[in-house]
Chain A
């Protein structure tokens, strides 16, 4: 096997990691922080990450007087002898050694890589990881193992264990331009393909359903086009459905009766609400129960005055609240009264194994997004809670609700420290998979998300981040942060990501998979098949 030796272990501690001296032929420029390397101990193989690189000299006098105009011969001789480099490597997993000749035995389940419990002795060899090492650690493609990409310098798949992935809430991060939505589309495709969960996607910028032009100019397919009728499109925008080739299955309306106090509080900033708004809403609720919003918006100035006298509310704040909340009424998709049946149908569709994308179309302001996502999610979660209770009573496998993964963008709007305790999303993120509902959080400023929520995220997928606070936030609750911190900052803007957490055995940098024709085919895309009305009906209403 083609193994490139890098150096020998010369120092180290269990808690601090190992130090290896590089071989004279190895330059530090070949190595990257966060690279996956292997230390060959006598009994164990240690799968490790490079966490730091040092330049050293055997004689300090050399550093004070570096050879300036010497011949190439002398310079070349000094490199790797008098001057040398060491790397800090951090063992992440270890594997007991077996006979290498039997590839199947190596890959077989045996014991599999385990957490590190020892460190190797002096002079253990440090080498580049081979394809076999990657396969040993990250498993083979197939089943619920989904190939996310390849190592930076190799061409073998690195798999995400999607079965484990959907067990927790997860995050996709990266500064803008790092391809977060592609990454999310990749992961969601995997989840749809492997059927480990159903998806509800709040698609603020209409990126997930249909073709979209990438930044480098070519068109990529949306999930509807890849997975056909498995994906249902809901839209807030009536005009969306009229565009050719972009069938919308349901146009969603939101009733004022469905909007609750918590939704309004979440929108304080967007609606320009004052501190007193919450108290005023409380008074309104006391008086009108569920219909408070409707009643408030209907009030004439005289009604307002009456109400204030009766309830003791402050007239100016009442007037301001009404003025501000009128904005809600003006949204096209908001009607006075709507039943929850559309949302309940949606939950049933999810339960049948369909995936739902909710498009916002022209209504893509933060106000729309936060209002609708929170409202819909609250309903979905209630229904899931009921289903889960029923399942706990009957214990019938058929009653168990399908795991649901809810994808939200601009996650800091819902999960920032000020509101994370009040939003449904915050609840879902904290209670984990109690009701089989998890989140896929997409955000470019992870520092804006509540630390408690961040620490609950099972798997984090991150593109390049440069802001120190964002890097810190992504690494919340992760051990061995120094190596990963360097890795995060050193990623390329395009196509390079770092995955760490529950769904991968150890953190790993990779080049993401191409989102192209071969990917569509691998996902079983039914490209070019037209849909008929009957399948549409079946998809919408189930087999009746």
Chain B
């Protein structure tokens, strides 16, 4: 499903404008940019995978801050019905950092040689793709590189939570990912705990999960 269009691109990631106002893809979720054969460097086409690292909604003119629109009776969602022009003057952006690509039948978890082309579509990854991509966990290292305002640790945790859900609460995968993260953050106990607290499935997860292996 197409969810956005690339408006800024670089080797480490891209910024895309979301098709839906105020609804960027979930933080940490896996998105994909599909390059046809002629656009990519390979003959068979290429799928670039990226993890959403932030979302934001701003006015079209970055120099002008949004102004207050609510009244005593009109607030929240009603503002958008009262002011339909907001759908034109506001835009929602999200950033994503590249974590790998699929080309020539091979899944690689490192940066592609070329950034994705501007104006190409960004799609959300299907559960099967998420499953296939996250079977290996080397991409977690790329997520730890600093980018943007959101703490990499939070993005990492968000990604693990997302994937855990999309993998149907695969507890084995979660344990493996947690150990991988523990290895990555072996020299920083506090950072490690930050992530672990954020991805701890705890009791509530178990109940909502349903697919949880007992």
**A-B CB contact pairs (8 Å), 24 listed:** A58-B186, A59-B186, A59-B187, A59-B188, A59-B189, A61-B190, A65-B189, A67-B193, A71-B200, A71-B202, A73-B175, A73-B201, A74-B193, A74-B196, A77-B178, A77-B181, A77-B182, A78-B182, A78-B192, A81-B179, A81-B182, A81-B186, A82-B186, A82-B192
Binary interface encoding of chain A residues 502-543 relative to chain B, with 1 for a CB under 8 A from any of its CBs, else 0: 000000000000000000000000000000000000000000
Complex contact A82–B182 (CB within 8 A): yes
- A160 → chain B, closest Cβ, in Å? 45
Q: How far is the CA of A347 from the CA of B197 in the complex (A)?
A: 81
Say if the beta carbon of A24 comes within 8 Å of chain B: yes
Q: Does A76 contact B (CB under 8 A)?
A: yes
Contact, CB under 8 Å: A61 / B178 = no
* B208 within 8 Å of A (CB atoms): no
- Decide if B183 is an interface residue (CB 8 Å cutoff): yes
Q: Tell me, in angstroms, the Cα distance from A273 to B127 when the chains sit together.
A: 96
For A58, what are the chain B residues with a Cβ–Cβ distance below 8 Å? 186-187, 189
The binding surface of chain A is classed by DSSP as loop
Complex CA gap A206/B197 in Å reads 69
Interface status of A305 (Cβ within 8 A of chain B)? no
Task: Write out the residue numbers on chain B whose beta carbons fall within 8 Å of the beta carbon of A78.
Answer: 182, 192
Contacts of A82 in B (CB 8 A): 182, 186, 189, 192
Write out the residue numbers on chain A whose beta carbons fall within 8 Å of the beta carbon of B183: 81
A89 to chain B, nearest CB (A): 23
Closest B residue to A82 by beta carbon equals B182
For chains A and B in complex, what number of residue pairs have CB atoms within 8 angstroms? 44
| A366 close to B (CB within 8 Å) | no
- Is A80 interfacial (CB 8 A cutoff)? yes
List of A residues within 8 angstroms of B202 by Cβ? 71, 73
A103 within 8 Å of B (CB atoms): no
Which residues of A are interface residues toward B (Cβ below 8 A)? 24, 58-59, 61-62, 65, 67, 71, 73-74, 76-78, 80-82
Chain A residues whose C-beta falls within 8 Å of the C-beta of B175 in the assembled complex: 73, 76-77
Which residues of chain A are near B187, meaning CB under 8 Å? 58-59
Which residues of chain A come closer than 8 Å to B188, judged between CB atoms?
Answer: 59
Residue numbers in A under 8 Å from B201 (CB-CB) = 73
Q: Once the chains are docked, how many angstroms separate the CA of A65 from the CA of B190?
A: 10
| Main secondary structure on B side of the interface with A | helix
Known: A62-B189, A77-B181, A80-B179. 18 other contacts (CB 8 A): A24-B179, A58-B189, A59-B187, A59-B189, A61-B189, A71-B200, A73-B178, A73-B200, A73-B201, A74-B193, A74-B200, A77-B175, A77-B179, A77-B196, A78-B192, A81-B179, A81-B183, A81-B186
Give every chain A residue within 8 A of B186 (Cβ-Cβ).
Answer: 58-59, 81-82
Q: Which one of A62, A65, A73, A80 lies within 8 Å of B196 (CB-CB)?
A: A73
Q: Which residues of A are found within 8 Å of B189, using beta-carbon distances?
A: 58-59, 61-62, 65, 82
Q: How far, in angstroms, from A80 to B178 measured CA to CA in the complex?
A: 12
Q: How far is the CA of A58 from the CA of B175 in the complex (A)?
A: 19
- Bound-state Cα–Cα, A82 to B201, Å: 20
- Identify the interface centre among B183, B189, B190, B193: most chain A CB within 10 Å of its CB: B189
CB distance from B128 to the nearest CB of A (A): 27
Residues of chain B within 8 A (CB-CB) of A76 are: 175
**Which residues from B are CB-within-8-Å of A73?**
175, 178, 196, 200-202
Query: What residues on B are CB-neighbors of A74 within 8 Å?
Result: 193, 196-197, 200
Give bound CA distance, A67 to B179, whole Å.
Answer: 16
Q: In the docked arrangement, what's the CA distance between A62 and B189, Å?
A: 6
Q: Considering residues A62, A74, A76, which has the most beta carbons from chain B within 10 angstroms of its beta carbon?
A: A74
The 10 residue pairs across chains A and B that have the minimum distance between CB atoms: A81-B182, A58-B186, A59-B189, A77-B178, A62-B189, A61-B189, A74-B196, A73-B200, A81-B179, A71-B200
In this complex, what residue of A is CB-closest to B192? A82
Query: Among A24, A61, A82, which residue has the most Cβ atoms of chain B within 10 A?
Result: A82
Which residues of B159-214 have CB atoms within 8 Å of chain A's CB atoms? 175, 178-179, 181-183, 186-190, 192-193, 196-197, 200-202
Question: Hey, which chain B residues are within 8 Å of A59, CB to CB?
Answer: 186-189, 192
Contacts of A77 on B, CB cut-off 8 Å? 175, 178-179, 181-182, 196
Closest chain B residue to A67, Cβ basis: B193
Tell me the complex Cα distance, A89–B187, Å.
26
| Closest residue of A by beta carbon distance from B182 | A81
A-side contacts of B190, CB under 8 Å: 61
Which residues of the partner chain B approach A61 to less than 8 Å between Cβ atoms? 189-190
